[in-house]
Amino acid sequence: MKNLISLKLFVLLPLIFLAFGCAAMLPPSTGDLIRNDAALLQQADNFYRAHRYNEALATYEQYLQTSPQGVQWQHAWLRTAELYGIKGDWLQARARYERILAVPVDSGLALKARYGVGQAQYKLGNFLEAERILENLTASNLSGDLRFKTNALLTELSLQSRNFPQACSRLLLVEKDLPYGEEEWYQDLKSRLLERAAAPELEKLADLYRDTPLTPALLLQLIRLETQAGRPEKAEEWLATLQRRFPQSPEAVLAAKLSAPPARTEAVGSTAAIGCLLPLSGEYAEVGHQVKNGLELAALQAHMSLAVEDCGGGADTTVAALEKLANDPKIVALIGFFPSAVAEAAAAAAQRLGVPLLALTQKKDITQTGSFIFQDFLRPPLMLQALVSYTGSRMGWQRYAIICPDSKYGRTMARQFAEELNKHGMLLVSQVSYAEDGHNLALAVQTLLTTVNPGPDGRPSLDAVFIPDEDRAVAAAASVLASTSQFRMPLLGTNILHTPSALQHDARLDGIFFPDGFFAGDPDPAVRAFVSDYQQQFQQTPSYLAAQGYSSLRLAAEALQGSPGIGRGEFAQKLSQQLPPPGFTLFKSFNTVREAQLAIKILTIRGQEFQLAP
């Protein structure tokens, strides 16, 4: 009996172990799979919301590979399409959107995919097809945000074709859905419409759209254009129209300030002085003191009097300081450095008080405030125009690409660089962007190279790559380009590379070209004399800001030369026609809207030092 029990145990134990082993080898249940898929998708969504786009794309792709027909596959496909667009790979993005539309999907998702196809066609330059798709989309029942984006993109297309009545009509539709969309995009569209339309076109628009949210802006732009063209009577007519029809609008208030007669344009006597408005305290104090050094050196050499006021960098304190200087009868003109946020307030006050103002600011269109406002500062269009002109005429380059950070600065510089290429008849082959923190920069560079066809020698068919970012990011991009393409790609940058840290990247930035307004190592005798005088006076090498202050004061001194009793109005007229003063100056001339044209330098890095480009 005992032997029989032992035999039974001998037979049963392997079976028990086999049963447990089989249970351990069973595949996970459907519920487990669903839970794992949901966790993967949640992780991808978290990456997406955190702007970690490289990781988000990889995780969405993993989800689609493991669960091609998962519960949320449509959502994942849409996200991958959006992410390829963010990376600048619009061919892949379009293919993903079209894949969604090839199968039955939720109607809301289908509308988003149709917009995505239209956006991709626009980015790829297929404008007629993009317009057809987007126009058809407007007939659908769209959500507020999708309706905003669709009409905004249609407005872009109208501006592209210079169809201003259509652009205005579409922009009004965008304005209606502004609560659902991006204020920055709307304002940019509005600004470009006003900038690109000439006075006769604006008149037609103002007559066609007599009572819309855009009408006050149209009328204000007409006032500015007629004033600049020397037709004050016509400007007064438009002012009267604006004040009659929109008396409470911000545009009417601003127009009244711009059109107010100068408070005082009398002669100022033989002891004429220049007033200076500088942020000597607060956030911009360092900038203010650099400009002040240059102003003081020029005043010392020209035997001129300066009256300096600390404006602190805020709008209210700036206006108060400006009014104080303007009330001094010895002050014939003002020079001031202003952050963009306060430049308009300073310009409006100077115009109202009838005192000429040389504004050291990058604020766009600041001179449209009125005939007493001059802009004398380094601006992105000047730098990029010089860079494109140099690389085209001197280097013979024609084909360019852009790799830019997804930041306000990056987007602005990329757009203006592309516009300059278009003006010069050059080709933008490809453009990609990366997150502002740079975490997906390598992926963006690799994406760029996949979108560019190789030439006969195997090299990417590009002449240069423009990267508007700080030196660390540009050096990182240079490393990826070199390791991926096997060739050293010529790089272009902006003046933010003109910093000592750009020389610390083991030759990765050697050969890069970038523009700037001043180079202390310039062998030009006038520059060397200025640098020597500055170093002797302040025991340091002058920066661009110091050079700009020096140049602006010398420009004002030249306009005062031989005119001891000149009035403010006469000074403004003389300044608008002023030629460059002898000796060192950044100034070349003022254009018709009183924006200074500056002598831009193209610099490069060779052997861990900055040099003038050959």
What is the pLDDT at residue 455?
63
pLDDT at 32: 41
8 Å CB contact between 529 and 583 = yes
Q: Are 324 and 309 in contact (CB under 8 A)?
A: yes
The parts of the chain modelled with pLDDT lower than 70 are 1-35, 70-71, 228, 257-271, 453-460, 485-487
Read off the pLDDT of residues 304-339 as tens digits, 9 standing for 90 and up. Answer: 889 999 998 788 889 999 999 999 989 999 999 998
Based on the fold, state whether residues 121 and 221 are members of the same structural domain. Answer: no
The answer on 177 and 144 residing in a single domain is: yes
**433 and 317 fall within a common domain:** no
Which residue is associated with the tokens 């016509």?
234
Out of 206, 232, 256, a domain closes at 256
Same domain (yes/no): 285, 356: yes
Residue 21 falls inside a structural domain: no
| End-to-end Cα spacing for the chain | 106
What CATH number is attached to the domain comprising 466? 3.40.50.2300
Which residue is it, tokens 């091609």?
68
Residues whose CB is less than 8 angstroms from the CB of residue 572 and which lie 6 or more positions away in sequence, other chains included: 333, 356, 371, 372, 374
Is 334 found in the same domain as 251?
no
Mark whether 56 and 191 lie in a shared domain. Answer: yes
One-character DSSP codes across 401-470: EEEEESSHHHHHHHHHHHHHHHHTT-EEEEEEEE-TT-TTHHHHHHHHHHHS-B-TTSSBS-SEEE--S-
Residue that is written with structure tokens 């855009």 in the block: 214
Which pLDDT score, from 0 to 100, does residue 274 have?
Answer: 94
Residue with tokens 């110091």: 546
Instruction: Say whether both 43 and 171 belong to one domain.
Output: yes
Domain end position, chosen among 256, 282, 300: 256
pTM of the model: 0.62
Q: How many CB atoms lie within 10 A of CB 251?
A: 18
Residue labelled with tokens 């990889």: 58
The answer to whether 90 touches 123, Cβ cutoff 8 Å, is yes
In a shared domain, residues 294 and 371: yes
pLDDT at 314: 83
Identify which of 27, 36, 102 has the alpha carbon closest to the alpha carbon of residue 71. 36
28 vs 24: CA distance, rounded Å: 10
Paired tokens of 418: 């592309």
Q: Residues 557, 558, 560, 564: is their CA dihedral positive or negative?
A: positive
Domain membership of residue 594 (yes or no) is: no
* Number of domains making up the chain: 4
Would you say residue 172 lies in a domain? Answer: yes
Nearest Cα residue to 331 out of 355, 309, 348:
355
The answer to the question of residue 8 being in a domain is: no
Domain holding 152: CATH number? 1.25.40.10
Q: Which residues contact 309 (CB under 8 A, 6 or more apart)?
A: 275, 276, 277, 278, 321, 322, 324, 325
Grouping H, G, I as helix, E, B as strand and the rest as coil, residue 308 is strand
Residues 483, 401, single domain; the answer is: yes
Same domain, 390 and 435: yes
Please name which of 475, 427, 438, 422 lies closest in space to residue 608, comparing C-alpha atoms: 475
- Domain closes at, from 498, 516, 534: 516
Question: How far apart, in whole angstroms, are the C-alpha atoms of residue 12 and residue 599?
Answer: 96
The DSSP 8-state label assigned to residue 283 in this structure reads: T
Which pair of tokens denotes residue 204? 């037609």
- For 485, phi and psi rounded to 5 degrees? -90, -10
**For residue 190, is it within any domain?**
yes
Tell me how far apart the alpha carbons of residues 494 and 476 are, in angstroms, rounded to a whole number.
16
Q: List, in order, residues 6 or more apart from 226 with CB less than 8 Å away.
A: 199, 232, 234, 235, 238
pLDDT tens per residue, range 486-505: 567 899 999 999 999 999 88
Q: Is residue 2 domain-resident?
A: no
Kindly state whether residue 589 falls inside one of the protein's structural domains.
no
Is 549 found in the same domain as 407? no
| Domain assignment of residue 434, given as a range | 381-516
Nearest to 391 by CA among 514, 524, 517: 514
What's phi and psi for 494, nearest 5 deg?
A: -120, 180
597: in domain: no
Closest CA to 71 of 63, 79, 83: 63
Does residue 144 share a domain with residue 50? Answer: yes
Residues 307/274, Cβ–Cβ less than 8 Å: yes
589: enclosing H helix or E strand: strand 587-590
Q: Structure tokens of 233?
A: 């009577």
